[in-house]
């Protein structure tokens, strides 16, 4: 089975940068642990992108839980590509952030 390539939209990269900056403010060692968790999850998604549940917001998106964060992504089967759309903390107003996905549906 061919692995899927993973790409990040600019907004998802921004989300990750903000998360790292926040964690570094309070928990310097947690940034490295979070990045390791991300890498493991990306390896898993790249190998089997359908292993994570579908988002209840849209059939197009899947959601992966990484510690206290939720990653939203879509799979392009033809291109064998996973596109990460956003990463948010699970305590946030998820509905409000999901509205950002409307730009991509």
pLDDT band, residue 102 (cuts 50/70/90): low
Task: Convert the pLDDT of each residue in 9-29 to its tens digit.
Answer: 999 999 999 999 999 998 778
At residue 73, the pLDDT reads 94
At residue 52, the pLDDT reads 94
The alpha carbon dihedral of 19, 21, 25, 29 has a sign of positive
One-letter-per-residue 3-state SS of the chain: CCCCEEEECHHHHHHHHHHHHHHHHHCHHHHHHHHHHHHHHHHHHHHCHHHCEECCCCCCEEEEEECCEEEEEEEECCCCEEEEEEEEECCCCHHHHHHHHHHHC
Average pLDDT value for residue range 25-40: 89
99: pLDDT strictly greater than 80? no
Task: Convert the pLDDT of each residue in 78-95 to its tens digit.
Answer: 999 999 999 999 888 777
The domains located in the chain, with CATH, are 5-104 (3.30.2310.20)
Q: How much is the pTM? A: 0.86
């Amino acid at each position: 089975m061919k692995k899927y390539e993973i790409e990040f939209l600019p907004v998802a990269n921004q989300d990750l940068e903000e998360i790292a900056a926040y964690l570094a403010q309070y928990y310097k060692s947690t940034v490295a642990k979070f990045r390791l968790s991300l890498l493991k999850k990306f390896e898993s998604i790249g190998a089997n992108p359908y292993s994570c549940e579908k988002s209840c917001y849209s059939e197009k998106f899947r959601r992966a839980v990484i510690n206290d964060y939720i990653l939203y992504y879509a799979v392009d089967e033809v291109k064998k590509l996973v596109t990460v759309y956003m990463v948010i903390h699970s305590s946030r107003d998820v509905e409000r952030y999901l509205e950002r996905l409307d730009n991509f549906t």
